[in-house]
A and B are shown apart, each in its own frame.
Chain A
Amino acid sequence: MELKVKTVNRIDGFQEALYLPAIFNGLRLTVRHFFKNLFGSREVVTIQYPEEQRHVSPRWRGRHRLTRRENGFIKCVACYMCETICPAHCIHIEAGDHPDLSIEKYPVVFDIDELRCVFCGLCVEACPKEAIRMDTGVIAMAYSSRNRFDYTRDLLKDTYRPNKETKYTDIPLPKTEEEALPNSRGIPST
Chain B
Amino acid sequence: MEELATENKGQNLESEMEDQADASVMTIEIGPAHPAMHGIVRFTTQIDGEEIVDMIPEIGYLHRGFEKESENSKWIQITPYTDRLNYVSPLLCNIGYSMAVEKLFGVDAPRRAQYTRVIMGEISRITDHLTCLGAAAMEVGAFTFFLWFIKGREYLWELVEEVTGARLTTNWTRFGGNATDIPDGFLGELQERLEKIKDILRECDTLLTRNKIFIDRVKDVGVLSKEDSISFGFTGPMLRACGIPYDVRRSDRYSVYDDLDFEIPVGSVGDCFDRYLVRMEEMWQSISIIEQASDKLPAGPIAIDDRQLVLPDKKQVYGNIEGLIDHFKLVMEGHQAPAGEIYMPTEGGNGEVGFYLVSDGSGEPVKCRVRPPCFNFVSAMPAICKGGYVADIVPIFGSVNMIGGELDR
Partner-B contacts on A (CB < 8 A): 1, 3-12, 15-19, 21-23, 25-26, 29-30, 43-45, 56-57, 59-61, 79, 81, 84-87, 118-122, 125-126, 128-130, 177, 181-182, 184-187, 190
The reply to whether the CB of B342 lies closer than 8 angstroms to some CB of chain A is: no
B residues contacting the other copy or chain, number (CB 8 A)? 70
Residues of B close to A19: CB separation below 8 A: 212-213
CB-CB nearest in chain A for B301: A184
Residues of A close to B77: CB separation below 8 A: 85-87, 122
Complex alpha-carbon distance, A12 and B278, angstroms: 16
Complex alpha-carbon distance, A25 and B151, angstroms: 21
B179 touches A125 (CB 8 A): yes
The tally of CB-CB contacts under 8 A between chains A and B is: 161
The reply to whether the CB of B265 lies closer than 8 angstroms to some CB of chain A is: yes
Residue in A22, A85, A122, A185 whose CB lies within 8 Å of B211: A22
Beyond the given A1-B259, A16-B211, A45-B155, please list 8 additional residue pairs across the A-B interface where CB-CB is below 8 A: A7-B268, A8-B277, A10-B267, A18-B212, A59-B164, A59-B180, A182-B314, A184-B314
Complex alpha-carbon distance, A29 and B269, angstroms: 30
Complex alpha-carbon distance, A143 and B171, angstroms: 26
Known A22-B210, A57-B162, A181-B314; judge A8-B274 contact (CB<8 A): yes
Known A1-B258, A85-B76, A181-B314; judge A26-B211 contact (CB<8 A): yes
B331 touches A29 (CB 8 A): no
Residue in A16, A30, A182, A185 whose CB lies within 8 Å of B215: A16
User: Which residues of B from 57 to 103 have beta carbons under 8 Å from A?
Assistant: 73-74, 76-81
| 26 A-B contacts (beta carbon < 8 Å) | A5-B263, A6-B263, A6-B264, A8-B266, A8-B268, A8-B274, A9-B277, A15-B210, A16-B211, A19-B213, A22-B212, A29-B203, A45-B151, A59-B163, A86-B77, A118-B80, A120-B79, A121-B171, A126-B327, A128-B317, A181-B315, A181-B318, A184-B180, A184-B181, A184-B314, A185-B179
Residue in B76, B257, B259 whose CB lies within 8 Å of A122: B76
The reply to whether the CB of B140 lies closer than 8 angstroms to some CB of chain A is: no
Residue in B80, B161, B209, B259 whose CB lies within 8 Å of A57: B161
Residues of A close to B203: CB separation below 8 A: 29
Complex alpha-carbon distance, A7 and B286, angstroms: 16
The reply to whether the CB of B273 lies closer than 8 angstroms to some CB of chain A is: yes
Interface secondary structure of B, over-half rule: helix
CB-CB nearest in chain B for A16: B212
B161 touches A60 (CB 8 A): yes
CB-CB nearest in chain A for B278: A8
Tell me, rounded to whole Å, the shortest Cβ–Cβ distance linking B221 to chain A.
Answer: 13
A187 touches B165 (CB 8 A): yes
A122 touches B215 (CB 8 A): no
The reply to whether the CB of B9 lies closer than 8 angstroms to some CB of chain A is: no
Complex alpha-carbon distance, A186 and B268, angstroms: 50
The reply to whether the CB of B1 lies closer than 8 angstroms to some CB of chain A is: no
Complex alpha-carbon distance, A5 and B250, angstroms: 11
Known A8-B278, A184-B313; judge A56-B161 contact (CB<8 A): yes
The reply to whether the CB of B14 lies closer than 8 angstroms to some CB of chain A is: no
The reply to whether the CB of B219 lies closer than 8 angstroms to some CB of chain A is: yes
A6 touches B155 (CB 8 A): no
A84 touches B332 (CB 8 A): yes
Tell me, rounded to whole Å, the shortest Cβ–Cβ distance linking B268 to chain A.
Answer: 6
Residues of A close to B188: CB separation below 8 A: none
Complex alpha-carbon distance, A36 and B37, angstroms: 34
A29 touches B207 (CB 8 A): yes
B165 touches A185 (CB 8 A): no
The reply to whether the CB of B383 lies closer than 8 angstroms to some CB of chain A is: no
Residues of B close to A128: CB separation below 8 A: 317-318, 324, 327-328
CB-CB nearest in chain A for B271: A10
B151 touches A81 (CB 8 A): no
The reply to whether the CB of B166 lies closer than 8 angstroms to some CB of chain A is: yes
A125 touches B211 (CB 8 A): no
CB-CB nearest in chain A for B157: A45
Known A87-B81, A184-B180; judge A57-B165 contact (CB<8 A): yes
Residues of B close to A29: CB separation below 8 A: 203, 206-207
B162 touches A1 (CB 8 A): no
Tell me, rounded to whole Å, the shortest Cβ–Cβ distance linking A110 to chain B.
Answer: 17
Tell me, rounded to whole Å, the shortest Cβ–Cβ distance linking B234 to chain A.
Answer: 17
B245 touches A3 (CB 8 A): yes
Residue in A7, A84, A187 whose CB lies within 8 Å of B331: A84
Tell me, rounded to whole Å, the shortest Cβ–Cβ distance linking A4 to chain B.
Answer: 4
Most buried by B among A5, A61, A84, A119: A5
CB-CB nearest in chain B for A25: B206
Known A1-B258, A59-B163; judge A185-B314 contact (CB<8 A): yes
The reply to whether the CB of B154 lies closer than 8 angstroms to some CB of chain A is: yes
Complex alpha-carbon distance, A33 and B243, angstroms: 37
Known A59-B180, A128-B327; judge A45-B165 contact (CB<8 A): no
The reply to whether the CB of B8 lies closer than 8 angstroms to some CB of chain A is: no
B169 touches A11 (CB 8 A): no
Tell me, rounded to whole Å, the shortest Cβ–Cβ distance linking A111 to chain B.
Answer: 20
Residue in A4, A60, A79 whose CB lies within 8 Å of B263: A4
Residues of B close to A4: CB separation below 8 A: 261-264
Contact bitstring B196-207, A, C-beta under 8 A = 1, else 0: 000000010011
Complex alpha-carbon distance, A153 and B310, angstroms: 29
The reply to whether the CB of B300 lies closer than 8 angstroms to some CB of chain A is: no
